[in-house]
Every structure is written in structure tokens, then in C-alpha cells.
């Protein structure tokens, strides 16, 4: 496995919970805000509710080799060991048959692989109202005990369930999360340190570096970090013969012979390698169409029943509850994840309250336990106008050009969904001020997919249902590149299950 493989700092004081960590650290501001205060959110950037934790800054650290220009979106790329899911929130939602309508296979084909992944990484899930949208695949473990706020929210939902279901098409249930509720190998169950956002110090919250570590223990696995892959070489029969990298240490070029090449660098990186390889061989500049990403909307709310209650920082920080909102058709399903803002930095939130800062700080003390945030996700589909190509007009390595435009009906879809959610929340005793709802920039969800989609019939710039390129017989894509559609649900679990499926079918 060739990888740039950036790594972050190791866990700091892994036994401490979030409040005691602040007391135990010599320089807590350096840990929480960064040595250069990079996680400080000043009023210029107050559209953000979270500062990105400095402990994970390696995940999105730029690479000088990577050149990109985007129009219509603000994409993020990573060169971290383990990839983007090193900074994920653990949401693990299987696609159902409606979601897989444009895939060359249905849920039955993926179900055993969802189960394999669940058994390997640990995923919590139960049968509840969300099971109608998310099949209950094998391997799931019992959920974590709910904290006070989500427990009250779920109770409110259950009391008003019938009207919420029928009037707003809203269903609520437990989040499916890649977090341990019991032992799994050497990993221990979540001990509710409240440090998820900062990087789980006990590996109870799964990140891909856990699997990478497991793989490195295998005698037939070799991991070679420090290599930025620029392109692959192929012969006249369109068979990949080698992969070319540039060393991160000294920028020297290396070539590794390959029998079969599997690209898993993420949709943007894998697509760039693919296009660059063709360009280097023939001078031809190709365009890949159909780039997709989930639009996300952040909707903060106040649970009136929690006002004035004591805030409990010792808990699981990410989503404990999720919601599904049915649309006119199954493809219009909207996926929403609820977090109750436990141990994120609070200064970005305080400055957004509608008072002077002193008043906002005082009000926040009563509000903190009552605050929640809904992350609303919208589906996307492949469209010709959303594309990737290379800019080869400038000296040096080609630059990736990205062009994206949202669906023309997006404003209406977002308005309808947020209106329904706001009304439903009100019935559950929660207020979601419309002025605080934020449309995240396109690209912020980092769910990029669809540039070399699976097709049953061989066509150029597509791949087989087993993710083998239709252009190069020994080339595979096991990231979002091969997805032919993008439902609203977080795609990471499906990427993992699909990678397992490809491995079992082809290797």
C-alpha cells in the first residue's frame, strides 16, 4: 500500500475526560485552540459552529504536490494515513434498495459486507423507527446509553410520534455509529470521556487508522508511506504496469511495478491520478463528469425542557439520534443527524447568540445543556455539468479543475425540509431559529463521488459492477469514484462495504 500517510499526534492523557483534561494540560489553549490559534473562531468566521480541532489538523494539511482549482464548491482533500474518515463523526448508515436503485446491485448484495464491516469496526444500531430507511444488517451491537438531552428528545418524539410521522413525514431513532458499546479485540467500549471531536484517545470511536494498524500486523501486507502517487503507467493493451510516485522526503520519483492496481485515494485524488496517467501517456486531456456531493445544512435548536439544567460534558459527543424525513419519492429522502453540542468549543456559539457578548456568555450558561445541532443531508445525483478535468496549460504538474453547480431545485428542497424540521421540532418542545440555520458550502460534507461510475455495460470512463475499470483491465476503484448515485445518508459505511465486496469478488 502506497500512501502519503500523514499522521497526527498521539493521544494526550488518554485517561482524562474533557473537563479534567483542561486542568491537567500545561497549555490547554495550545491543545484546544492550536499553537497558532488556528481553531480560534473570530467574528470574521462566525458562520462556523465548530473550530476544527488542532489535534486533527494533519487530516486536511495541504500537500505542495496537489494543485487544484474549484468553481462552485470548496473541496477538501486529505493526505492523512487512514484518509478523511480520520476526522469523521462515525455515522454508519447502510443504503437500502431505494438508495441503490441506480447501482448495478441491490441491498441483498451489500448486506453481508455491511455485516463484515460492522463486525470488524463495531457499529451500534437497534430496530426502531429508522429501520424503515436503514436495513438492520448483521453485526450491529447495542447502542450506548443515551445522555439526558437526547433521551428527553426521543421521549418527546415518542409522545408525538403519530402526528410527526403523518404530518411532517419525520421519523426519529438511534443513530448508527461506529463506536464500541462493548469490547472488540483490544479496543474498549466508549467510556464517555467527551473527547470525540478532539480524537478519541481510547480508539472506542473507530477510525481507519485502526484497520491500517491491524493490516500492518499481517505478514503479507506492506505499507509504504511518504509517497505521493502522480500517475500509473500502462502498456499498449491498456494494462497497468506500474505506479509512479514522488517521495515526500526528497521529491525523487519512484516507480513500483504492479499486477493489479487498486485506487483508494478518495474521489478527487483517484480521478486526478486516472486523468493524469492518460495525459502523460498520450497528451490527451479527458473530462470526468458526474461529480456528486451531499449538500449539508446546519440547524441549531434549543430544547426548552432542558433550559437551566446542568450541562454534562462526560458523554458521547457525536450523534446519538438521527432523523429521516420522507419526500415526494424515496429519492427525496432527507437524512438528519442530531448532536447535542457537548464538548465543542463554546466561543463560536456564544458569539452567535443575539445579545451583547457579556449577555451572550451569561445566557449560554443556561442554554448550554439545552442546545442541539441538526446536520441535515441532501441527496445528489450525477449530472453532466459537474466535472473534473486537468489544466495542463501551466508549467509543472497538471492542476485539477473542478466545476460544480447544485441542482436547480435545491433552494426549494432545502426550504421545504428545513420548514418541516423546524415545525416538527417545535412540536417536540424545541425552537430552531431560522436566522441561525446555515447552508454549508458545497464540498463541506466531503462526500465526493461518481466520476467513474459502475456500469453493467462496458463504456469508456466507467467501471464494472465489481469496480474494475472499463478502460484498464487491471485497475480498480474502491472509493467514492465508482458510486453511480449519492443518497442523503453518509456514504462511508457503504464505501467500506463495497471495498470488502470488491476484495472478496476479485481478489
Partner 1 sequence: MHNFLERECRVFTRYLIGMEPDAYVIGKYIDYHRRAGAEPIASFDRALLNAAMAARVLMWIADSYTAAFRRNAQLRRKLVLVLALLECRPPYSDHLDTPGHLSAVTAILSLAGQGMAFGLGVAASLVIFEPVRLWCAIKAGGGRSA
Given the rule CB under 8 A, which residues bind partner 1? 19, 22-23, 28-29, 31-33, 36-37, 40-44, 46, 304-305, 307-311, 313, 345-347, 350-351, 354-369
In the three-class reduction of DSSP (H, G, I as helix; E, B as strand; rest coil), residue 218 is classed as coil
CB of 141 to partner 1, least distance (A): 31
Shortest reach from residue 303's CB to partner 1, in Å: 10
Q: Which is nearer to partner 1, 31 or 93 (CB)?
A: 31
Rounded to a whole number of angstroms, the minimum distance from the CB of residue 430 to partner 1 is: 13
Q: Kindly tell me which of 20 and 211 has the beta carbon lying closer to partner 1.
A: 20
Give the separation between CA 271 and CA 234, rounded to whole angstroms. Answer: 16
Q: Using DSSP, state whether 366 is helix, strand or coil.
A: helix
> Shortest gap between Cβ of 150 and partner 1 (angstroms)?
18
Judged by beta carbon, residue 356 or residue 435, the one nearer partner 1 is 356
C-beta closer to partner 1: residue 351 or 387: 351
- Work out the number of other CB atoms within 10 angstroms of the CB of residue 69: 10
The full length of the chain comes to 507
Residue 26: phi and psi, rounded to 5, are -65, -40
| Cβ(428)–Cβ(95) below 8 Å | no
CA–CA distance, 204 with 68 (Å, rounded to integer): 35
CB burial of 255-264 (b: ≥16 within 10 Å; e: otherwise) equals eeebeebbbb
Please work out, in degrees rounded to the nearest 5, the angle formed at the alpha carbon of residue 207 by the alpha carbons of 101 and 483. Answer: 20
From the list 189, 169, 186, 168, the residue with the least C-alpha distance to 178 is 189
For residue 297, the minimal CB distance to partner 1 (Å) is: 22
DSSP string, 296-357: EEEEEEEEGGGTTPPP--SS--S-SEEEEE--SSGGG-EEEEEE---SS-SHHHHTTSSS-H
Q: How far apart are CA 139 and CA 112, in angstroms?
A: 9
Q: Are the CB atoms for 212 and 166 separated by under 8 Å?
A: no
Comparison of 307 and 426: residue with beta carbon closer to partner 1:
307
Q: Cβ 312 to partner 1, closest distance in Å?
A: 10
Please state the closest distance from residue 372 (CB atom) to partner 1, in A. 16
Rounded Cα gap, residues 6 and 77, in angstroms: 12
C-alpha cell at 275: 486523468
Are 235 and 257 in contact by the 8 Å Cβ rule? The answer is no
Residue 228 phi/psi, 5-degree rounding, is: -95, 115
Q: Which is nearer to partner 1, 38 or 255 (CB)?
A: 38
If the CB atoms of residues 152 and 227 are measured against partner 1, the closer one turns out to be 152
E strands along 180-277, which residues? 224-225, 227-234, 240-247, 253-257, 261-263
Nearer to partner 1 (CB atom), residue 72 or residue 429: 429
- Closest to partner 1 by CB, 345 or 500: 345
- Rounded least distance, CB 196 to partner 1, Å: 17
Minimum distance, C-beta of residue 299 to partner 1, in the bound complex (Å):
20
Amino acid at each position: 500500500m502506497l500512501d502519503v500517510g500523514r499522521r497526527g499526534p498521539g493521544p494526550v492523557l488518554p485517561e482524562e475526560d474533557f473537563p479534567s483534561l483542561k486542568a491537567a494540560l500545561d497549555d490547554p489553549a495550545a491543545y484546544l485552540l492550536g499553537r497558532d490559534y488556528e481553531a480560534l473562531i473570530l467574528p470574521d468566521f462566525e458562520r462556523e459552529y465548530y473550530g476544527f480541532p488542532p489535534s486533527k489538523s494533519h487530516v486536511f494539511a495541504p500537500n505542495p504536490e496537489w494543485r487544484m482549482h474549484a468553481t462552485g464548491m470548496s473541496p477538501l482533500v486529505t493526505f492523512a494515513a487512514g484518509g478523511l474518515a480520520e476526522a469523521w463523526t462515525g455515522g454508519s448508515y447502510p443504503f437500502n434498495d431505494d438508495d441503490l436503485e441506480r447501482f448495478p446491485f441491490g441491498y441483498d448484495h451489500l448486506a453481508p459486507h455491511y455485516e463484515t464491516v460492522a463486525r470488524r469496526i463495531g457499529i451500534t444500531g437497534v430496530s426502531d423507527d429508522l429501520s424503515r430507511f436503514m436495513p438492520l444488517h448483521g453485526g450491529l451491537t447495542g447502542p450506548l446509553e443515551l445522555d439526558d438531552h437526547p433521551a428527553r428528545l426521543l421521549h418527546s418524539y415518542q409522545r408525538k410520534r403519530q402526528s410527526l410521522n403523518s404530518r411532517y413525514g419525520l421519523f426519529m431513532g438511534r443513530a448508527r455509529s461506529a463506536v464500541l458499546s462493548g469490547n472488540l479485540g483490544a479496543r474498549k467500549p466508549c467510556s464517555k470521556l467527551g473527547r470525540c471531536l478532539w480524537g478519541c484517545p481510547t480508539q472506542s470511536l473507530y477510525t481507519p487508522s485502526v484497520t491500517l494498524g491491524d493490516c500492518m500486523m499481517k505478514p503479507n501486507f506492506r505499507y509504504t508511506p511518504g509517497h505521493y502517487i502522480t500517475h500509473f503507467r500502462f502498456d499498449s493493451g491498456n494494462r497497468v504496469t506500474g505506479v509512479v510516485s514522488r517521495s515526500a522526503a526528497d521529491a525523487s520519483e519512484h516507480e513500483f511495478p504492479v499486477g493489479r492496481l487498486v485506487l483508494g485515494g478518495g474521489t478527487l485524488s483517484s480521478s486526478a491520478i486516472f486523468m493524469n496517467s492518460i495525459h502523460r501517456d498520450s497528451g490527451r486531456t479527458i473530462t470526468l463528469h458526474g461529480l456528486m456531493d451531499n449538500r449539508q445544512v446546519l440547524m441549531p435548536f434549543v430544547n426548552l425542557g432542558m433550559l437551566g439544567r446542568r450541562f454534562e460534558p462526560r458523554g458521547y459527543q457525536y450523534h446519538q439520534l438521527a432523523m429521516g424525513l420522507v419526500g415526494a419519492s424515496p429519492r427525496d429522502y432527507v437524512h438528519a443527524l442530531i448532536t447535542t453540542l457537548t464538548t465543542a468549543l463554546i466561543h463560536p456559539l456564544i458569539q452567535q447568540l443575539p445579545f451583547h457578548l457579556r449577555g451572550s456568555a451569561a445566557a449560554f450558561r443556561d442554554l448550554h445543556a439545552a442546545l442541539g445541532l441538526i446536520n441535515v443531508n441532501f441527496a445528489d445525483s450525477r449530472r453532466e455539468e459537474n466535472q473534473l478535468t486537468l489544466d495542463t496549460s501551466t508549467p509543472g504538474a497538471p492542476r485539477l479543475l473542478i466545476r460544480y453547480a447544485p441542482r436547480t431545485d435545491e433552494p426549494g428542497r432545502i426550504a421545504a425540509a428545513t420548514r418541516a424540521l423546524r415545525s416538527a421540532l417545535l412540536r417536540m418542545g424545541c425552537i430552531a431559529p431560522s436566522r441561525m440555520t446555515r447552508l454549508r458550502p458545497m464540498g463541506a460534507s466531503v462526500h465526493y463521488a461518481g466520476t467513474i461510475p459502475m456500469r453493467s455495460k462496458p463504456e469508456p470512463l466507467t467501471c464494472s459492477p465489481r469496480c474494475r475499470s472499463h478502460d484498464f483491465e487491471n485497475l480498480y476503484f474502491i472509493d467514492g469514484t465508482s458510486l453511480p448515485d449519492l443518497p442523503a445518508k453518509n456514504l462511508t459505511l457503504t464505501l467500506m462495504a463495497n471495498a470488502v465486496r470488491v476484495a472478496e469478488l476479485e481478489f
